[in-house]
Each structure stands twice: as C-alpha cells, then as structure tokens.
Amino acid sequence: MTDFFNEIPKIKYEGQESENDFCFRHYNPDEIVLGKPLKDHLRFSVAYWHSFAFEGGDPFGGQTFNRPWFGNDMKMAKLKADVAFEMFDILDAPFFCFHDADVRPEGTNFFENNDNLNEMIDYIAEKMTYSNTKLLWGTANLFSNRRYMSGAATNPDPDVFAFSAATIKSCLDATHRLGGKNYVLWGGREGYETLLNTHMGREREQAGRMLQMVVDYKYKIGFEGTILIEPKPQEPTKHQYDYDVATVYGFLKDFNLEGEVKVNIEQGHAILAGHSFEHELALARELGIFGSIDMNRNDYQSGWDTDQFPNNIPEITLAYYEVLKAGGFKNGGTNFDAKLRRQSLDAEDLILSHVGAMDVCAAGLKAAAKMLDDGKLEAMRDERYSGWDTQSGKEILNSDLETIYTKVLNENINPEPKSGRQERLENLVNRYK
C-alpha cells in the first residue's frame, strides 16, 4: 500500500439523506433498474491519463500538482500504477482506460517505448489478477510526442505512418493481453493546421488504410473487443477528419468498415462540433455504430475541451435515454475522460470528483429508465409519425412521383399542419427524477 490516499475510506452507497461527503447518494451499484444492476448499466471507467498523468497545466502555466510518482522512469511508473489501482479499489471502479504513454516511461525510440510498455503491462496484468477493475479500452497516444506534430496516420512522412502503425500494434497487443473490451482511436493530430500545406485526399486515404490494417490485425490476434473511433471536430488541430458521428460514418462507408468499427462519443466533443451529446448518440444508434461514451463536459463559456467531470443531471438523463434506447452498453461503458481543475491539488479531490460524477450519472440513468419505462415520450413521438403506419402512408413511401401526383389530385390531398408540442414534451421530460 502507498500512503497517497491515506485515510480515505472505500466509497459506499448511503443514500440521499447521508451527510457524509465520501459516499454515493444515487449510485447503488447493485440496485436493479430495468432488470439489471446499475453497475452493469453504467460500466464506469477511470481515465488513467487525467487522473494520474495530468500535471495541472493550462495554456498559461505548467504543473500545479505534486504527485510522488511524477518522473520518467520505471520506478515512478510502477508507483503510479500502485496508486491507480488503490483508487480503483476505493471507488470500486469496474473499469479503467489508458494510453501507452500514460503507463510507461517515454523512451528515445520505438524499441525503448516497446520495452517499457511490455514491462508495465506485465506489472498491470499482475495487479489485475487481484483487482475487480477490468480494462474498458486501451489506446495509443499518437499526438503528444513532437514526431506526431503533422499527424500520425495522416503524416506527410511515411516513416511517421510506420512508427504509428508499429505503436498501434503494440497497444492492441497490450489491450488484448489485459482483456480490454474495446480499442480506441482518437485522431488528435489527424487533420490540418492549414490547407495551404495539406493534401486532404491523400491524408484521408492514409487514415483509411491505417484503419483497415487495425481491423485486419484485430482478427489476426483474435481480439474480440470493438474497435472504436472517437470523433472530435478540432483541437489540437484546426480541423480533424473524424469531425463528428456523421462524418465518421461516411468515412467508414468509404473504406468498407461500417460493420467493423463503432464510435466512442464524448460529450465535450459533441458540443465542440455544434451538436448536443444526445444528437450524436441518437445518430450513432440510428446508424448502428453506437459503441461507448466519454462522459466529460466542457465549460460552456470558454469554448474549449476542458474535460470536466459531469454535474448536470438533466443533460445526462437525455444522454442515457439514448444509450438505453440503443439497448445499453455491450462492450462499451462510461469513461470519465475528465480531469481535475488545476487548483484541486489534494488526493481527496481525485476521489470526490469521481464520486460526484458517478452519482450524477446514476441519477441521470435512473431518470432515463423511468422515462423509457413509462413510454409517454415515445408514445407522443410515435403518434406524430402514425400517418406513416397507415396503408396510405406505406403506399406513398413505396410509390413514384407520377403515381403520387395522381393520388394527390384524385384524393385532393391537402395537408393540415399539426403542433410539434415541443413545450409539452419539455415539461414532460422535466418531471422525471
């Protein structure tokens, strides 16, 4: 045991009346909702990078956190893993997620990176044998090191493509070895800073090839998890090719991968793309590519991907409503891709941020489950489209312009507008808690 979380107890469910800060008020992991325990609905995951690698920097200043494991050597990486698993235990977190660069010291070349990663994966695998926490997803950090400044798969230099491909192979192997449920690709540098130096068509082809190689390799090693793309419109690059769910779907179609790859949708990225979270989730569900979520919000004033823990129950309710409508998570889960504010220096801040987020998500999911269960919202939505279920509606859809023309003339079809009942629906949604 390290002494980092000294005296912080294991977090238990105590209910809404409790005065204890170190307990869950809404998240009772074993509570049955729509036939299954809350913990299996929500599948919470801690993000290794934000909780253990983030130093507290912002664009105007560097490190504010002093963690005993900060440093670039194996001893520190192991201490970091020890503390990480202690936190997973305090929260009884079902899952975690990591990038290679979060868990291993940075080497000076591919060989060293690979060696460091393998040693750390051995260490983590050993810890997982006596931990309840499983791996939701692994991924490669193909954006921090300066070699990726002009992209990874989409780099103008084929050597960077090769370095990236080799790194993805190591990370897929690591994810597979740890029993990961998914493998994520987030293309932070897969885009451009200026079109003036960019051959967009070529870069898209390169990204498509890389993704095909990833899918081929997944089958080669028998990885049964899901390959996920995480859309984001921009930041760090001015424009990213995986802009939003609709764009990713077009890309997958183009490279014949729509049956192979799904999406990991992040709330903050949805907002950056000019959508709501529930829009992105609903579209992914309709297109059959819904996979997993990164549950972290932006600051609504700053316009940045500020990666804050969620704290808005009504927003989260609408998001989980879509998740439930999609049939819930299969391999996916709720990953808190969220970091502390840079003034939140203490060990307890790390715990309480997650406690609050887990509670808010549990409350949102329970409200969403009630909304789905009593069916009032869906009934009103269906009623709005009920004309399409009539004989005449079906005929119209399967007809052609000339036949419809004759029908409109003969039957004197003269549509009467009907209320969309938006305010009534908004009132209805606000009733669920």
Question: Could you list the residues that contact Ni ion (CB under 5 A)?
Answer: 266, 294, 305, 337
The single-letter code of the amino acid at 244 is: D
Give 86's Cβ-side CA count (13 Å radius). Answer: 19
242, two tokens: 């995986």
Q: List the catalytic residue out of 26, 41, 50, 99.
A: 99
Residue 190 touches which of Ni ion, ligand XLS, none (Cβ within 5-8 Å per kind): none
Is residue 262 part of the contact set for ligand XLS (CB under 6 A)? Answer: no
Q: Parallel, antiparallel, or unpaired: how do β-strands 334-336 and 290-294 relate?
A: parallel
Q: In whole angstroms, how close is the CB of 350 to ligand XLS at the nearest point?
A: 17
d(CA 98, CA 340): 17
Report residue 37: phi and psi, to 5°.
-60, 145
Q: In whole angstroms, how close is the CB of 194 to ligand XLS at the nearest point?
A: 21
Q: Which is nearer to Ni ion, 207 or 347 (CB)?
A: 207
Q: Which residue is nearest to ligand XLS (CB)?
A: 186
Let me know if 47 is exposed, middle or buried by CB neighbors in 10 A (0-12, 13-18, 19+). buried
Q: In whole angstroms, how close is the CB of 383 to Ni ion at the nearest point?
A: 37
Give 10's Cβ-side CA count (13 Å radius). Answer: 7
Q: In whole angstroms, how close is the CB of 140 to ligand XLS at the nearest point?
A: 8
Is residue 102 part of the contact set for ligand XLS (CB under 6 A)? Answer: no
Is residue 266 part of the contact set for ligand XLS (CB under 6 A)? Answer: yes
In DSSP terms, 182 is beta-bridged to 137, 226
Report residue 111: phi and psi, to 5°.
-55, -50
Q: Are the C-beta atoms of residues 266 and 230 closer than 8 Å to each other? A: yes
CA distances from residue 278 to 268, 301, 316 in whole angstroms, order as listed:
12, 20, 9
CA distances from residue 216 to 210, 223, 255, 333 in whole angstroms, order as listed:
10, 10, 13, 24
User: Is the dihedral angle over the CA atoms 274, 280, 282, 284 positive or is it negative?
Assistant: positive
Among residues 27, 44, 95, 186, which is the contact residue for ligand XLS, using CB under 6 A? Answer: 186
Q: List the catalytic residue out of 26, 50, 100, 102.
A: 102
Mark 128-167 with x for binding to ligand XLS (rule: CB under 6 A) and - for no binding.
Answer: -----------x----------------------------
Q: Which is nearer to ligand XLS, 26 or 43 (CB)?
A: 43
Q: In whole angstroms, how close is the CB of 137 to ligand XLS at the nearest point?
A: 9
Is 102 catalytic? The answer is yes
Q: Which is nearer to ligand XLS, 25 or 279 (CB)?
A: 279
Q: What residues between 365 and 404 interact with ligand XLS by CB under 6 A?
A: none
User: What Rg value do the Cα atoms of the chain yield, rounded?
Assistant: 24
Size of the site for ligand XLS (CB under 6 A): 10
Is 99 catalytic? The answer is yes
Report residue 41: phi and psi, to 5°.
-70, -45
Residue 139 touches which of Ni ion, ligand XLS, none (Cβ within 5-8 Å per kind): ligand XLS
Q: Which is nearer to Ni ion, 51 or 116 (CB)?
A: 51
**Binding region for ligand XLS (CB under 6 A):** 99, 139, 184, 186, 230, 232, 266, 294, 305, 337
Catalytic residue numbers read 99, 102
